[in-house]
């Protein structure tokens, strides 16, 4: 299904008064039982970057729900092209070719779903959920893909668990909403700020929310639920930002008031997430670090990739 004209026109990252403004996702169809995009094993394919925290959410969800045999995956190279696009490169460790459509770049995937994409100056983002049956993109919004994956588990696929149980869904959504602007997007607003005031505003909001989360996690293991809580989508959505924080954001995005390792409860949360079955294997530290420092040449002119922190210092 092609995006609306309004969505298609919002392809670029924008700046208002020096503030970074994230573009909208263009493809927003949903997998629904007995719908156009039905819940079927082997029908859907996920395109991701190991570097991208939004794509990482979908990989972790796929793993924790045990959907590896139901939803296939390809991985782009960690090097983002100068125009912000992604390419496939099966010679790079951790990356793959496009095993479904044989394209050399993610732009080719978008062009298959929306003819003329390549000529219209839009840039394709990850993650992408592809439908083999209709040869099109279902969705490229990570939060919606994560929620859709739960429908596979409810249909009897994977390990049968749920990361968004109905009784907790309101609390999950509220927590994700509360963390999105100050934390998930906040690191980018800090790093891409073009004025001192925009940076000061973003980084202050970021650490204010981290301070709140540190208090919230006192005596808890997970963000929502009774007692110690229950592992849900809210934890996944926070984790992929925190896992990159000390490795990248502290230096590269100037988020250096404190490190996550300076927050005992947040650091314990990161370690707890990494110890969940299969999660560590979704964390490709080289792709993450090399991508940011190499790709954002407007921030790091000479593309020098720092040696530290020592392995394990940010995640143990």
Strand, helix or coil for residue 77:
coil
Looking at 44, 47, 52, 237, which residue is catalytic? Answer: 52
Active site residue 283: no
- Of 187, 169, 263, nearest to 225 (Cα)? 169
Q: What CA–CA distance (Å, rounded) separates 62 from 242?
A: 19
- Give the pLDDT mean for 219-247: 98
Position 15 confidence tier, pLDDT thresholds 50, 70, 90: low
- Give the pLDDT mean for 33-47: 96
Q: Over the chain, what is the mean pLDDT? A: 92
Per-residue pLDDT at 11 exceeds 50: no
- Of 2, 3, 28, nearest to 135 (Cα)? 2
Strand, helix or coil for residue 128:
strand
Strand, helix or coil for residue 127:
coil
Q: Please say which residue of 122, 154, 186 terminates a domain.
A: 154
Position 26 confidence tier, pLDDT thresholds 50, 70, 90: confident
| Within-domain flag for 108 | yes
**Same-domain check for residues 133 and 184:** no
123 alpha carbon, distance to own chain's centre: 17
CATH number at residue 106: 3.40.30.10
**Same-domain check for residues 14 and 121:** yes
| Within-domain flag for 296 | no
Per-residue pLDDT at 5 exceeds 50: no
**Same-domain check for residues 247 and 182:** yes
Q: What CA–CA distance (Å, rounded) separates 30 from 38?
A: 9
Active site residue 255: no
Per-residue pLDDT at 13 exceeds 50: yes
pLDDT of residue 86: 97
- Of 150, 127, 130, 140, nearest to 233 (Cα)? 150
pLDDT of residue 21: 74
**Same-domain check for residues 24 and 139:** yes
**Same-domain check for residues 135 and 45:** yes
**Same-domain check for residues 237 and 199:** yes
pLDDT of residue 18: 75
| Within-domain flag for 114 | yes
- Of 155, 181, 173, nearest to 232 (Cα)? 173
Give the count of domains, the chain.
2
**Same-domain check for residues 62 and 145:** yes
Strand, helix or coil for residue 5:
helix
pLDDT of residue 3: 42
pLDDT of residue 23: 63
Looking at 188, 199, 263, 292, which residue is catalytic? Answer: 188
- The pLDDT tens digits for 163-218 are 999 999 999 999 999 999 999 999 999 999 999 999 999 999 999 999 999 999 99
Per-residue pLDDT at 283 exceeds 50: yes
| Within-domain flag for 300 | no
Per-residue pLDDT at 7 exceeds 70: no
**Same-domain check for residues 244 and 205:** yes
- Buried (b) or exposed (e) across 274-300, using 16+ Cβ within 10 A? eebeebeebbbbebbbbbbbbbbeeeb
| Within-domain flag for 208 | yes
Secondary structure E strands in 140-293: none
| Within-domain flag for 201 | yes
| Within-domain flag for 80 | yes
Say which residue the tokens 């990252």 belong to.
13
| Within-domain flag for 290 | no
**Same-domain check for residues 15 and 139:** yes
Strand, helix or coil for residue 137:
strand
**Same-domain check for residues 10 and 142:** yes
- What domain range is 102 assigned to? 5-154
- The pLDDT tens digits for 117-163 are 877 778 899 999 999 999 999 999 999 999 999 999 889 999 989 99
Q: Please say which residue of 110, 125, 154 terminates a domain.
A: 154
Per-residue pLDDT at 80 exceeds 90: yes
Would the pTM of this model clear 0.85, i.e. be above it?
A: yes
Q: Please say which residue of 154, 183, 204 terminates a domain.
A: 154
| Residue 119 preceded by cis peptide, ω within 30 | no
């Amino acid at each position: 299904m092609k995006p609306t004209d309004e969505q298609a026109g919002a392809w670029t990252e924008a700046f208002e008064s020096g503030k970074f403004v994230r573009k909208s996702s263009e493809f927003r169809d949903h997998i629904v039982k007995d719908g156009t995009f039905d819940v079927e094993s082997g029908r859907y394919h996920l395109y991701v970057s190991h570097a991208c925290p939004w794509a990482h959410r979908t990989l972790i969800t796929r793993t924790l729900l045990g959907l590896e045999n139901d939803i296939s995956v390809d991985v782009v190279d960690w090097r983002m092209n100068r125009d912000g696009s992604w390419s496939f490169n099966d010679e790079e460790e951790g990356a793959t070719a496009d095993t479904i459509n044989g394209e050399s770049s993610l732009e080719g995937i978008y062009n298959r779903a929306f003819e003329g994409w390549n000529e219209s100056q839009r840039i394709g983002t990850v993650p992408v959920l592809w439908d083999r049956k209709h040869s099109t993109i279902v969705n490229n919004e990570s939060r919606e893909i994560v929620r859709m994956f739960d429908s596979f588990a409810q249909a009897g696929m994977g390990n049968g668990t749920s990361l968004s149980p109905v009784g907790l869904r309101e609390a999950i959504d509220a927590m994700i909403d509360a963390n999105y602007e100050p934390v998930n997007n906040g690191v980018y607003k800090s790093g891409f700020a073009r004025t001192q005031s925009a940076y000061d505003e973003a980084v202050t909001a970021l650490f204010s929310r981290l301070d709140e989360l540190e208090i919230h996690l006192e005596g808890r293991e997970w963000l929502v639920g009774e007692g110690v809580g229950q592992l849900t989508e809210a934890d996944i959505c926070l984790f992929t930002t925190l896992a990159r924080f000390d490795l990248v954001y502290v230096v590269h995005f100037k988020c250096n008031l404190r490190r996550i390792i300076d927050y005992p409860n947040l650091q314990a949360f990161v370690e707890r997430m990494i110890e969940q079955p299969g999660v560590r294997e979704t964390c490709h530290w080289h792709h993450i670090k090399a991508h940011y420092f190499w790709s954002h040449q407007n921030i790091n002119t000479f593309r020098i990739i720092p040696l530290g922190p020592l392995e394990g210092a940010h995640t143990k």
